[in-house]
Amino acid sequence: MEMEIGRYLGLAKRANGIVYGLDNIKKSKEHIFLLIVCDTASSNLYEEMCYISVNRKIPLHKMEYMTLDQVLNTENCKAVGITNGHLASQIKYILDKENEFD
C-alpha cells in the first residue's frame, strides 16, 4: 500500500501538486485535498496537522512504513499537502481499499 501511495506522491511532485511543510500548508492559498504526515514527525507537528485536518475538513494520513524523505527524495520532509485533486482521490481510494481489509 505505501509503495502505491509513494508512486502517486512522486507523480504529484512532478506535477507540482504538493505543498511542503506545516507552515506552507497553513498559509497555502491553493485548495488542499489530502494531508500526509510522516511517522517520524514530532507529536506537536502531528497534533497541528490533526487540527488543520479537522478545521478545514481535509483527510489526514500518517505514513507508517516509509518516510516522506524517502518517497519524495527531499531532506527533512515531515508533512505535505496534496493539491492535485485527481492524485489525492487516487491515494484516498488506495487507503479506503486497504481499510476494508483491516
Quick check: 38 pLDDT over 60? Answer: yes
Give, in degrees to the nearest 5, the angle at Cα 45 between 44 and 50.
95
Q: For the domain covering 2-100, report its CATH number.
A: 3.30.1330.30
Strands (DSSP E) along the chain, which ranges?
18-20, 34-38, 60-63, 79-82
Residue 15 pLDDT class (50, 70, 90 cuts): very high
pLDDT tens for each residue of 41-74 = 999 999 999 999 999 999 999 888 788 888 888 8
The dihedrals phi and psi of 54, each to the nearest 5 degrees, come to -70, -45
d(Cα 102, Cα 95) in Å, to the nearest integer?
11
Q: What pTM was computed for the model? A: 0.90
